[in-house]
A and B are shown apart, each in its own frame.
Chain A
């Protein structure tokens, strides 16, 4: 089995139709278990009180916001190199999902920051990077929707995605330089001594798995929609000619 087989839309549709119910089911199970466990069956933090529970939405959403862009980058590269249409459509399908995760991370962060930091927003490196990421998502989606010819749009957005990735990384480190952060550092690393306590860690892992599955489900679903709409357009075009 190789990823290249799925460049064939028919093959992709068949496999994704088989995989989609599984993905939906697993997503629901993971999210329900993780969120219920996290919200109702974990203790309050001794300093943060119950606001700590926003971690179960904030951290997975923030992780997936970045990973969605990475997935778009890979899909764009595949499109540029091998010109597989499914790949371009998958990148297109992932963008609104990634944007939503970015906004979820920003909003939950603001809701948590208000009682904890005493402010909705601070020009902290991580927050600023996410704001910039939001702009990248908006620009990417706007470019997709602005161009009529689908192949041209796929080409241009792929180029934008490549260049944007480089600048997103640059910005990530540039803002570090410009302001010291208010946001806490990483506390989920696999190789560190000091990490978040297991009581929070295990349900958080389940939530992260749920968000990964949610992303996969949404992207599969949206890619299928894109493929169908492409087929529809082809049919309409054929009808006009005939």
Chain B
């Protein structure tokens, strides 16, 4: 498993791995929104939690089809399927690798972009915490969507359509945590629900994704 993780990370970080794409997209969004909406501080501050979460989500979608597609093309997915590692484990590791190269950097970058968007100071710890708890779900759900569409030639559009409704609960709870945090309100409930969705997705979705992959490799 560790070898697979290291291999995926190495592939992602090398040139052409698409590592920077999501981050660049997130950065561009955070710069463009104030330019489009206007530089008025209070408006920006109010929409900042939503914008940051939506940005993180879209940046995540950008790189989803890479989770399995390249491995499917060069046949290493078939090797993985026949290896002693159970498919569920391989899926989980793949999702983890995806999170390490997109979700985690996005989380670390987000406070900096929060400054650009004039997020209230009280919101920063909650922004980081909510992204830290929520982005693993994005990767895991994305891995599931990618597993469903891996055999298709141009699955990118379909993949976004499939994962879009699946991302709704995470987005709602995540943005709600940041919004409440920025306004200094009680936020234990959405935070707990966000964590619950993440844990549930991490526990159950590898099985669904592995089942879909097995069907696709049949």
Q: Which residues of A contact B (CB under 8 A)?
A: 132, 135-136, 138-139, 142-143, 146-147, 152, 155-156, 159-160, 162-164, 167-168, 170-171, 174-175, 177-178
Q: Contacts A143-B158, A177-B176 hold; do A132 and B168 have CB atoms under 8 A apart?
A: yes
Quick check: is B151 within 8 A (CB to CB) of the other chain? Answer: yes
A163 and chain B: residue at smallest CB distance: B208
Query: How far is B169's CA from A139's CA once the two chains are assembled, in angstroms?
Result: 17
Cβ A142 vs Cβ B158 within 8 A: yes
- Find chain A residues with CB under 8 A from B155 CB: 146
- Find chain A residues with CB under 8 A from B193 CB: 174, 177
Cβ B205 vs Cβ A163 within 8 A: yes
- The 18 listed contacts between A and B (C-beta, < 8 Å) are A132-B168, A135-B161, A136-B165, A138-B161, A143-B148, A147-B152, A152-B215, A152-B218, A155-B211, A156-B216, A159-B215, A167-B165, A170-B169, A174-B169, A174-B193, A175-B172, A177-B172, A177-B190
Interface string of B159-186 (1 = CB under 8 A from A): 0011011101100110010000000000
Assign chain B's interface to a size class: 20 to 34
- Find chain A residues with CB under 8 A from B216 CB: 152, 156
Supplied contacts A146-B149, A177-B189, 4 more A-B pairs, CB within 8 Å: A155-B212, A163-B208, A174-B173, A177-B172
Contact of B197 among A156, A160, A170, A178 (CB under 8 A): A170
Query: How far is B145's CA from A164's CA once the two chains are assembled, in angstroms?
Result: 11
Q: How far is the CB of A57 from chain B (nearest CB, A)?
A: 25
- Find chain A residues with CB under 8 A from B205 CB: 163
- Find chain A residues with CB under 8 A from B158 CB: 139, 142-143, 146
Cβ A160 vs Cβ B165 within 8 A: no
Quick check: is B26 within 8 A (CB to CB) of the other chain? Answer: no
Query: How far is B24's CA from A229's CA once the two chains are assembled, in angstroms?
Result: 48
Main secondary structure of the interface of B (DSSP, over half): helix
Query: How far is B168's CA from A139's CA once the two chains are assembled, in angstroms?
Result: 14
Q: Contacts A159-B211, A163-B144, A163-B205 hold; do A178 and B176 have CB atoms under 8 A apart?
A: yes
Query: How far is B164's CA from A159's CA once the two chains are assembled, in angstroms?
Result: 16
- Find chain B residues with CB under 8 A from A136 CB: 165
Cβ A132 vs Cβ B165 within 8 A: yes
- Find chain A residues with CB under 8 A from B151 CB: 147, 152
Quick one: which of B151, B168, B172 has the most chain A CB within 10 A?
B168
Quick one: which of A136, A162, A167, A168 has the most chain B CB within 10 A?
A167
Contact of A178 among B148, B166, B172, B208 (CB under 8 A): B172
Query: How far is B187's CA from A177's CA once the two chains are assembled, in angstroms?
Result: 12
- Find chain B residues with CB under 8 A from A162 CB: 208
Contact of A135 among B165, B169, B172, B215 (CB under 8 A): B165
- Find chain B residues with CB under 8 A from A174 CB: 168-169, 172-173, 193
Q: How far is the CB of A14 from chain B (nearest CB, A)?
A: 31
The list of the 10 closest CB pairs from A to B, nearest first, reads A174-B169, A155-B215, A135-B165, A170-B169, A171-B168, A139-B162, A174-B172, A167-B166, A139-B161, A178-B172
- Find chain B residues with CB under 8 A from A178 CB: 172, 176
Query: How far is B218's CA from A170's CA once the two chains are assembled, in angstroms?
Result: 32
- Find chain A residues with CB under 8 A from B148 CB: 143, 156, 159-160
Cβ < 8 Å to A, chain B residues 125-171: 144, 148-149, 151-152, 155, 158, 161-162, 164-166, 168-169
Q: How far is the CB of A167 from chain B (nearest CB, A)?
A: 5
Cβ A156 vs Cβ B212 within 8 A: yes
Q: Contacts A152-B215, A159-B211 hold; do A142 and B161 have CB atoms under 8 A apart?
A: yes
- Find chain B residues with CB under 8 A from A135 CB: 161, 164-165
Query: How far is B149's CA from A225's CA once the two chains are assembled, in angstroms?
Result: 26
Q: How far is the CB of A171 from chain B (nearest CB, A)?
A: 5
- Find chain A residues with CB under 8 A from B173 CB: 174, 177
Quick one: which of A136, A156, A160 has the most chain B CB within 10 A?
A156
Quick one: which of B148, B193, B197 has the most chain A CB within 10 A?
B148
